[in-house]
Every structure is written in C-alpha cells, then in structure tokens.
Structure 1
Amino acid sequence: MTDANPTPDASTDPPTDGETLRIDTVERLCDDIERNVADVIVGHDDAVEHVVTALLGRGHVLLEDVPGVGKTMLARSIARSVDCSFSRVQFTPDLLPTDVTGVNVFNQKTREFEFQPGPVFGNIVLGDEINRAPPKTQAALLEAMEEEQVTTDGRTRELPTPFTVIATQNAVEPNRTYELPFAEVDRFMKKLRLGYPDPDEEAELLGRTVGDHPIDSLEAVTDRETLVAARETVSTVQVAEPVREYVTRLAAYTRENAHIGVSPRGTISLLRAAQARAVTNGREYVIPDDIETEARVVLGHRIKTNGRDRDGIAVIEDALERVPVE
C-alpha cells in the first residue's frame, strides 16, 4: 500500500527559498551531515553537533585550541558536506580589510571601476587563524557577521544566503597573535574547543590518514536550497514564555556576577541555538534542557570577569546551578 503522505526526502527535489521542511526531515538531515563529517573528524561528536546546530541556527562559530587538533579540518568537513559556495581566508599580519571584503578595481576597457568581491562573499567562510591579523582587518567581518552585508566605498552589498563564518584561532603564541575585539567575539554564536583525542581515537585517526586523507573523497549530503529551508524550519520552532523567562534570568545572573555579562545578542543566539537543538531531537518546541545544553558554548565567551581564577564558563555553571527553572 502506498503512503498517501510520504516523508519528504532532503536529497530530492530541493525546496525553494522561503519554504520549510518537516521537523523529522531536518532531524535526518542533521544526522546525515554529522555522520558525513565523522568520516573525517574522529572523537569530537559533540563539537560537530554544535557546529551543525549553529549552522541551522543562523550563527557563526569560533574554534579555539592548540594547533593541530583538527579545527580547520572540522570547518572544511562541514563545508564539504553542504553543497554551498565555500571560501577561505588565511589571516596573516599583513592582511588588509579589502582582502576580506573586496575592492573596486579600475577596468581599463570600460573606463569604470568594477567591484571584485572578496572571500567573505561565500555561503560558508573559513577564517583560518583569525587572531593572526590585526584588529582593523578582523573588524572587516563585523558588519558581515551581524547584518549579512558589506559596505565598501559607500555602497552596501548583500551577502549570499546562507552565510556562516567558521573561524579558528590558536590558543598559543600570544606574542604573535592579536586579541579579538570583544564586539567581534560577541558576534560568534558559539565558541568551541576540541582538545586532544584519547589514545584509541588517535589510533583510529592515524589509521584513516596514512594513505589518502578522507576529506579528499568527502561528498556533499545536502545542497544550499535544502539548508536554507532547514534554517527556516528551525526559526519556526516554538519557544514558550517560561523558557524565554528562564533565559532572561540566566542573562541577569551573569550581569550581576561578572564585570561584563551576557548581551541581548547573546540571549537571542542562545534561543536560536536551542531551537536548532530541539529540531535535532525531533521536537518543534524548546525545553529547558536545550537551553542548558547550549548555554555553556553560547554564553561563556561573552562574559568578562575580573578574577584570574574565574572565567565566563564558571559564571555560566553557577547560573545553571542557581537559577531555577520555573
């Protein structure tokens, strides 16, 4: 007997912009992306899931750790899993803002200036070692990350949809890197650390990479249109008033117990991440567990403390322990 209402398949008949998908379809899509990335990235399933939920929640991701643990490879694997335009910016001390955003070039034939788009004009943009560039160059991403547009020479140009920045920064060599402006850090939905693999995971990693690297054969499991529709679905997930009030109380706690607390942009990012988290669990509504799962990676980097022994993560841990769910 034929099912009168078959479940849409994200791999066929891509939806048009503005269309949404069923919750279970997006849930399967997330699983497909995560399994695909796991063919390359070993032992960081939680981090992969966090990047996928950020991608669906219309957010950007900052990966911070020591060199060589797979930050750039994770970003490349995500980009390859989604058939979207991908560009990479290798941040260096001599990089200029126009090297990121683009520049007007004089065309000798037409006798007019023509705009040459920079690498920021991509669906998924990898900013590799972002803290190696000076603050002026880093600031070239501020407008793009917040408003999804770029203004050069007085003209504003829209960025493609979807637009996601996945940036990496090394947590070593402080004398050869620049601190990211706090306004830029606040624009990242999530800040993640990968850490070293355990011995079994590292042994498996070595077994996969002794010959051809698995990323060379990694293929996309979805396309731009389906990803856009999945993000539209995530934006429709219900967030009830008690959940919103819980997020507000968490933010208030950070503002009362830190030098700089969570900004309203941070609470919006937390709700969007929680919406994506709900969809990955097959739900069309957010529950407090979604908030608590996302709070550490979404809010921790937005908090400034005065003490050396207490960071933003510690403040969030205290908030989650002391702020009641009503």
Structure 2
Amino acid sequence: MPAVIIVAAVVLARFHVPSNATAESLFTGCVYGIAATGALILTPSTVVGLTTYFLVPSLRRLFESLLFYPLFGSALLVFLFLAVTKWEPDPDTPAATVDAASTSALIISGVLVIATSILAARNWLTNYFDTRLCHPYDHIVLFLLGTAASISRERHRWYDDSRVTNWRAWLEIVAVQVERDGSLSRRIGSEEGSACTELREEAQRVAAVIRNHKRALAKAHSAHDVDTVVVSLMQGVQAFCAGDRTALLANAPEEVAPRNNRFAVATVRLVPAAILISAGLLLPLLPAVAHSELASNLRWYLIATGTLMFITTRQDLTTKISEAVAKVLFK
C-alpha cells in the first residue's frame, strides 16, 4: 500500500499534457517511453538472471528470485531517475511527445515497482512462516526425497548422458541446501563465532557426501548402480528426519577443500561493467549533459569501457583500448 500511494502521488505530480498536444504526438511519445523503459528495466534483470542460471546450476531453483531482484532494482532506479529529472525537449521535438514519453515511462516503471514490491512482501511472508513453522531440516528432506524419487523413477535411463547430467545438477542443488540449512545459522547468535564455524564446517562435510554421489552417477553402468545411489540418498533422508548428525557425518571427509565460486567471480566482473554501461545509457539523458556536443561520445565511451571490463580480466588491455577509444571520441 505505501508503494501504491507513493507511485500514484509522483505520477500525478509529474503528469502534464500541453494544450496543443495532438493524438499523433502523444502516441509517438508513449511508444518511445514504453520501449525505452522496457529496455532499461528488462535487459539488466535478464542478463543477471541468465548469467547466474548458466554459471551456477545449483541456483537454478532460485531462478525466479534471480530475475525478481534485478527487476525490482532496475525499475526502482528508472522510476527515481524519472521522478527527479525534468525533461527539456529539443527544438525539433514537440513538447507533447516528450511529456508523453516521460509520463508513460514513469507509469510503466511505477507499475513494475508496485508489482515487485508485492512479490517482495509475499516472499518475506513465505520465509517468515517457513522459519516459524518448519523444522531445521525440512527443506533438505524435501529436496533430497524429491531428488531420490526422480532418480529412481528414471534409473532405466542411466545410459543417457543428458539425464545423468540433470541428476548431478539436482544433487548439487541438494548439497547447497545442506550447506545453507545444515549450519543451523538461524539458531546461533552472532556472538557464538566458534559454534557457528563448527556447524558450518559440519554442514560442508555432509554436503561433500551428497556431492560424492555425483561421481557414482557419472560412473553408473547399469540401473543397479543407480539404485545403489538412491538407497544411500534415502538413508540420508532418514538421518535428516531423525536429526542424527552423527549418522550424517559417519562417511563424511574430515576436511573439505574450498570450492571455486564462479558466481562470485562473475559478479566481481559484472557489477562494475553494468555500472559503466548504465552510466553510458543514463548520463547523456541528463539535461545538463544532453545539450553538450560530447554527449554521444560520452555514451559510447562508457559503454565500450564497460563491455571491455566484462569481456577481459586483463586490466592493462582494458586501459589501452579505453585510452584509444577516448582519443578517437574526444579528439
């Protein structure tokens, strides 16, 4: 409700239609506004969601959230930008077209802000009731039981490479869930650092047991080999239901080597690049910059630099190419 009131107030305050407006100019402005807003909001969220989806298979069950959060952030940034920016039309552009474009863009971004806010509230309520009503290992049991059932149902396809790949991806999802819920972080205060570290290491060891089954599936040479994995997974389900950490740790390795986080590596490269590309798209739209002769050059320079930063990890190469581009654009 607060989001609805704020968005409605801003739209009403910025809504303005010149007296000499024509239907053609209003329609043209609305089309431009909707197209530009859709590109600015949907492109970042789609890029972030799909990049994470393919880089980190264990997060595929969170794909809706991976799209939701960037969508909310992009819509909010565009809405705030439009709310505080006063557009000054070019001499060749009718004022009605500019007003219609800015108003339609403001409305579209505002509607998306409201929609994503509602989804955020629903998400928060779901997590709240999960925390209040679920046992510590309930999510792990559900994921593990569902994975074991699916593998058992399709065990006769042990020869299918794509099917085995899917089974391994499901087990990785379970392992990540074990690392998250098995550490019991919601039950430990921040002051108990040693207990938190110990439980987190135990959860990682149990997750390593789950991941060991991925190798067994890759080596499976008959349906019987797959059944052996399913039986082991069901024993894990029983141990989780009983809360028997001793049984869960019985076959766990003593130490777990740190795993490479491809998502973190990609984020380190993606965030600065996304900021530069966004700046290249938005800064030239500011009235103080738009009237400058170098506005277009600034846009392409920032976009090129952001793209290079994402493509290559060599800072020296990015610097050299950026300097060359700057010499051409700002000579």
TM-score normalized by the length of structure 1: 0.22
In proportion to residue count, which structure has more helix?
2
TM-score normalized by the length of structure 2: 0.21
In proportion to residue count, which structure has more strand?
1
Q: Which has the higher contact order (CA 8 A, sep 6+)?
A: 1
Report the structure number with the largest CA radius of gyration: 2
